[in-house]
């Protein structure tokens, strides 16, 4: 890993030197039309998005999509992705300990990703991409190790079910771009200091490279933590090269590496939360050994090389392709065992598009493609050394855990003037392969497969507004850690390597929406939807294993808007309302013990756990006229109460927190050197709140721990020097 860091540092220095020596090339490149950065922001009525697998006008896409603007990204704390998504309606981001460990859900998808048997530092149910390369693994889990929000240039969020385009676990899509939007040469060096030992050093360097560009990004963050057992650090670096071998071909290469470490304080009971929310879970009556005793933590090292290519054969036909290879070395203390994971993750895709003019007002567009991902490797479980809380000397398990995801899709869009009709179909197959080399079990391989249809209509009211409606299917297979078999299956002892109680989650989303802008000062996006879901997956028996439950329904409405009021004053807001209900849900105690067969209970009519009924964010900002980079903003974020368990007996309290930020830009050497200073304060009123919660939490002798407290009042100051030759 040290060699990788040194390599990134050397290349950054090279990029910095190049920036100072290639100004003439920069001036030439700036006069050309930039088409290497494919995601644009709300600078005009026409906003191009690429998370739909082909560059297309936002108003012509029959999906609910939000583009997070750079001005929003640049004012965030940057340790965790939750703050960057706060203004996206329908999205809930919950920081679990104030660091990188974040839960993300979109319209309820991803809500179950917390608990004793849900890996910390990961999310599920949604797919996340960085520069077109998947962060999401084949089984649908996403780790946040390689996601750069400090130097992200834009984020696109598809809130609609996007399974026909992206496949498994596409309840929503988060697509991050790290390519600087500026083509000119520059070097930006920054440092941040904040509450609870938050320290960050950053470097971003960019230089023109022919008709493309080369850039390097490094962010080194450390955090002492505000709770006991919540320290963390992350070193993340990216080198990106954008080239144009020909006027019709765009090739991008990305080398990304990270070393990420964080401790896990564990959940608290209500009494623990009220008495001292800064404590970690150290009660041996609740967990033995406790989180503190076993020093539960993660230590992840990852390296990835990925490339994307776009080529236009003609003005109507083109293709794109992506390929990547990644290594992962993961070490963790978890549930009284030391676990070593050595994995490789590879994949790629190819997408072709073509359009034909069928008449004066009729056009047909076809999009077709295929995706493939494979992750495999060894997992070694050791005893936990009681002295060092590290790897012991006794090998308990020696397993292989592999997963692959293969899918093909076809989408046809028929356009009649301002009206378009979109029909799509996708087929996905997700395969799990598990082998235990110490205690071999049967059924070491299982395949989950499904065809997913979609039908949508979009009508362009005028150049600045459109309405749409869609019906689409979705699939989410059980994640790898959910496939462990239960201790009992009725009267049958466990003889299988993969949990036979699980089926893929199948969903159907019905949606209508309107989006656009008005009077050059207002942009808006509103949608209402209903989602019918079969085979919900739930933690069972206090999280001992997972099982599939009957059916549920979600009905919701979302609104996002931003407006330029007058002068430099602007406001942005988002709000979401959702009603959830289990339609069919029968608890069968025979899954727990042979002695409990025949005992059942119905949860039909209960609300789904983990999903707030309402959320809202409002941000008021003032940009000082004629002073570029001078601003002040205040933000209010609210999440309503919700249930932490399917029985609806444990309530997670709602909360509201206030934040503020301000910044100035000072020119030191005109047009060449500038100092940027930003201050940020979160939770201004120092509210004590339940930031996140475990779903269907364990019931122990010492109580029911489920609360992950939110950060108290905290501050951060960032200073950066930007040099432009």
- Look-up of token digits 């093909």: 408
Position 14 scores a pLDDT of: 38
Position 117 scores a pLDDT of: 64
Do 372 and 347 form a contact (C-beta atoms < 8 A)?
yes
565-577 mean pLDDT: 94
Of the given ranges (169-183, 434-448, 501-515, 559-573), which has the lowest mean pLDDT? 434-448
Cα–Cα–Cα angle for 448, 452, 457, rounded to 5 degrees: 165
Position 25 scores a pLDDT of: 35
Give the separation between CA 65 and CA 59, rounded to whole angstroms: 10
Residue 49 token pair: 């998005």
Do 411 and 367 form a contact (C-beta atoms < 8 A)?
yes
Please provide residue 129's backbone torsions phi and psi, each rounded to the nearest 5 degrees: -130, 145
Range of 16-20, 54-58, 679-683 with top mean pLDDT: 679-683
Residues belonging to the chain: 725
Handedness of CA 21, 25, 31, 34 (dihedral sign): negative
Structural domain tally of the chain? 1
Q: Comparing 555 with 168, which gets the higher pLDDT?
A: 555
Among 622, 650, 654, 660, smallest CA distance to 641 is for 654
End-to-end CA distance of the chain: 33
Give the separation between CA 300 and CA 295, rounded to whole angstroms: 16
Question: Does the pLDDT value for residue 249 go beyond 90?
Answer: yes
- pLDDT tens for each residue of 432-471: 998 888 888 766 788 999 999 999 999 999 999 999 999 9
3-class secondary structure, 139: coil
Among 182, 217, 134, 165, smallest CA distance to 29 is for 182
Q: Comparing 98 with 28, which gets the higher pLDDT?
A: 98
Handedness of CA 113, 115, 73, 524 (dihedral sign): positive
Position 710 scores a pLDDT of: 95
- pLDDT tens for each residue of 482-499: 887 776 665 455 566 778
Residue 289, preceding peptide bond in cis (omega within 30° of 0): yes
Position 46 scores a pLDDT of: 59
Of the given ranges (97-111, 113-127, 225-239, 606-620), which has the lowest mean pLDDT? 113-127
Confidence bin at 121 (pLDDT 50/70/90)? confident
- Look-up of token digits 């470490």: 261
Do 158 and 65 form a contact (C-beta atoms < 8 A)?
yes
- pLDDT tens for each residue of 667-718: 999 889 999 999 999 999 999 999 999 988 888 889 999 999 999 999 999 9
Confidence bin at 197 (pLDDT 50/70/90)? very high
Give the separation between CA 681 and CA 662, rounded to whole angstroms: 9
Confidence bin at 24 (pLDDT 50/70/90)? very low
624-631 mean pLDDT: 93
Give the separation between CA 429 and CA 468, rounded to whole angstroms: 30
Task: Provide the whole-model pTM.
Answer: 0.91
Of the given ranges (30-34, 102-106, 575-579), which has the lowest mean pLDDT? 30-34
For residue 136, give the DSSP letter.
Answer: B
Position 323 scores a pLDDT of: 98
For residue 485, give the DSSP letter.
Answer: P
Confidence bin at 52 (pLDDT 50/70/90)? confident
Q: State which residues form the domain around 569.
A: 2-723
Confidence bin at 21 (pLDDT 50/70/90)? very low
Alpha helices in 280-379 (DSSP H): none
Among 391, 393, 120, smallest CA distance to 281 is for 120
In a 10 Å sphere around its CB, with 0-12 CB exposed, 13-18 middle and 19+ buried, how is residue 320 labelled? Answer: buried
Q: Comparing 96 with 251, which gets the higher pLDDT?
A: 251
Question: Does the pLDDT value for residue 17 go beyond 60?
Answer: no
Q: Comparing 315 with 588, which gets the higher pLDDT?
A: 315
Please provide residue 352's backbone torsions phi and psi, each rounded to the nearest 5 degrees: -120, 145
Share of the chain above pLDDT 70, in %: 91
Confidence bin at 15 (pLDDT 50/70/90)? very low
Please provide residue 168's backbone torsions phi and psi, each rounded to the nearest 5 degrees: -50, 135
Question: Does the pLDDT value for residue 373 go beyond 80?
Answer: yes
The residues, any chain, with a CB within 8 Å of residue 478's CB and separated by 6 or more, are 139, 448, 499, 502, 504, 537, 546
> Per-residue b/e over 634-652, b at no fewer than 16 CB within 10 Å?
bbebebbebbbbbebebeb
Domain of 283: which CATH number? 2.40.170.20
Position 153 scores a pLDDT of: 92
- pLDDT tens for each residue of 294-352: 999 999 999 999 999 999 999 999 999 999 999 999 999 988 899 999 999 999 999 99
Please provide residue 594's backbone torsions phi and psi, each rounded to the nearest 5 degrees: -60, -30
Provide the CB-side half-sphere exposure for 123 (13 A, CA): 35
Confidence bin at 386 (pLDDT 50/70/90)? confident
Cα–Cα–Cα angle for 141, 304, 147, rounded to 5 degrees: 55
Question: Does the pLDDT value for residue 410 go beyond 90?
Answer: yes
Mean pLDDT value across the chain: 88
Confidence bin at 80 (pLDDT 50/70/90)? confident
Do 502 and 547 form a contact (C-beta atoms < 8 A)?
yes
Question: Does the pLDDT value for residue 538 go beyond 90?
Answer: no
Position 443 scores a pLDDT of: 63
3-class secondary structure, 500: coil
User: 3-state DSSP helix/strand/coil percent for the chain, to nearest 5?
Assistant: 10, 55, 35
Of the given ranges (220-229, 238-247, 417-426, 698-707), which has the lowest mean pLDDT? 698-707
Among 289, 271, 268, smallest CA distance to 279 is for 268
């Amino acid at each position: 890993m040290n060699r990788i860091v040194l390599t990134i540092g050397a290349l950054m220095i090279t990029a910095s030197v190049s920036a100072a020596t290639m100004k003439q090339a920069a001036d030439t490149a700036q006069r050309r039309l930039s088409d290497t950065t494919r995601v644009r922001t709300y600078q005009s009525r026409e906003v191009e998005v690429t998370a739909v697998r082909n560059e297309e006008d936002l108003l012509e896409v029959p999906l609910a999509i939000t583009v997070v603007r750079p001005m929003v990204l640049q004012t965030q704390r940057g340790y965790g992705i939750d703050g960057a998504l706060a203004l996206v309606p329908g999205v809930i981001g919950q920081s679990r300990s104030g660091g990188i460990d974040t839960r993300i859900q979109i319209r309820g998808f991803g809500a179950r990703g917390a608990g004793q048997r849900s890996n910390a530092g990961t999310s599920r149910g949604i797919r996340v991409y960085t520069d077109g390369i998947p962060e999401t693994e084949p089984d649908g889990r996403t780790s946040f190790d390689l996601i750069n929000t400090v130097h992200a240039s834009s984020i696109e969020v598809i809130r609609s079910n996007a399974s026909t385009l992206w496949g498994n676990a596409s309840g929503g899509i988060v697509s991050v771009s790290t390519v600087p939007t500026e083509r000119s040469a520059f070097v930006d060096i920054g440092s941040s200091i904040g509450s609870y030992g938050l320290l960050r050093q950053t470097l971003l360097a960019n230089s023109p490279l022919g008709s493309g560009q080369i850039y390097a990004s490094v962010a080194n963050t450390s955090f002492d933590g505000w709770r006991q057992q919540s320290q963390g650090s992350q070193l993340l670096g990216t080198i990106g090269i954008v080239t144009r071998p020909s006027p019709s071909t765009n090739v991008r290469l990305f080398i990304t590496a990270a070393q990420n470490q964080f401790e896990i304080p564990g959940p608290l009971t209500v009494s623990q939360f009220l008495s001292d929310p800064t404590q970690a879970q150290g009660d041996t009556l609740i967990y033995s050994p406790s989180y503190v005793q076993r020093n539960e933590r993660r230590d992840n090292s990852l390296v990835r090389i990925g490339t994307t290519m776009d080529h236009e054969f003609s003005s109507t036909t083109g293709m794109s392709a992506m390929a990547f290879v990644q290594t992962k070395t993961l070490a963790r203390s978890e549930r009284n065992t030391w676990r070593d994971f050595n994995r490789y993750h590879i994949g790629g895709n190819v997408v072709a598009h073509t359009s034909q003019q069928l008449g004066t007002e009729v056009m047909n567009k076809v999009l077709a493609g295929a995706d493939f991902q494979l992750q495999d490797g060894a997992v070694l479980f050791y005893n936990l050394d009681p002295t060092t809380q590290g790897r012991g000397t006794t090998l308990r398990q020696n397993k292989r855990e592999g997963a692959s995801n293969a899918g093909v899709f076809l989408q046809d869009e028929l356009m009649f003037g301002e009206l378009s009709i979109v029909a799509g179909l996708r087929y996905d197959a997700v395969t799990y392969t598990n082998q235990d080399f110490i205690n071999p079990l049967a059924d070491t391989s299982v395949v989950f497969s499904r065809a997913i249809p979609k039908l949508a209509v979009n009508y362009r009211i005028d150049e600045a507004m459109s309405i749409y409606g869609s019906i689409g299917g979705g699939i989410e297979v059980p994640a790898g850690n959910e496939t462990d078999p239960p201790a009992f299956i009725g009267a049958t002892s466990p003889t299988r390597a993969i949990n036979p109680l699980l089926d893929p989650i199948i969903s159907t989303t019905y949606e209508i929406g309107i989006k656009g802008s008005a009077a050059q000062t207002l942009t808006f996006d509103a949608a209402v939807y209903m989602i019918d879901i079969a085979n919900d997956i739930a933690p069972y028996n206090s999280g001992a294993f997972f099982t599939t439950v009957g059916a549920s329904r979600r009905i919701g409405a979302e609104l996002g808007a931003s407006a330029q009021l007058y002068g430099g004053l602007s406001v942005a807001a988002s709000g979401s309302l959702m009603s959830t209900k289990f339609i069919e849900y029968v608890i069968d105690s025979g899954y727990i013990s042979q002695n409990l067969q025949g005992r059942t209970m119905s949860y039909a009519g209960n609300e789904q756990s983990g999903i707030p009924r309402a959320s809202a964010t409002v941000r008021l900002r003032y940009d000082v006229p004629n002073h570029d980079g001078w601003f002040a903003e205040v933000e209010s974020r609210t999440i309503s109460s919700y249930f932490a368990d399917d029985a609806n007996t444990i309530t997670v309290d709602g909360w509201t927190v206030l934040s503020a930020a301000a910044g100035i830009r000072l020119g030191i050497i005109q047009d060449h050197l500038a100092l940027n200073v930003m201050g940020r304060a979160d939770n201004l009123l120092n509210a004590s709140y339940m930031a996140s919660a475990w779903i269907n939490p364990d019931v122990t002798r010492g109580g029911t721990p489920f609360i992950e407290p939110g950060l108290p009042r905290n501050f951060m100051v960032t200073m950066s020097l930007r040099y432009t030759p």
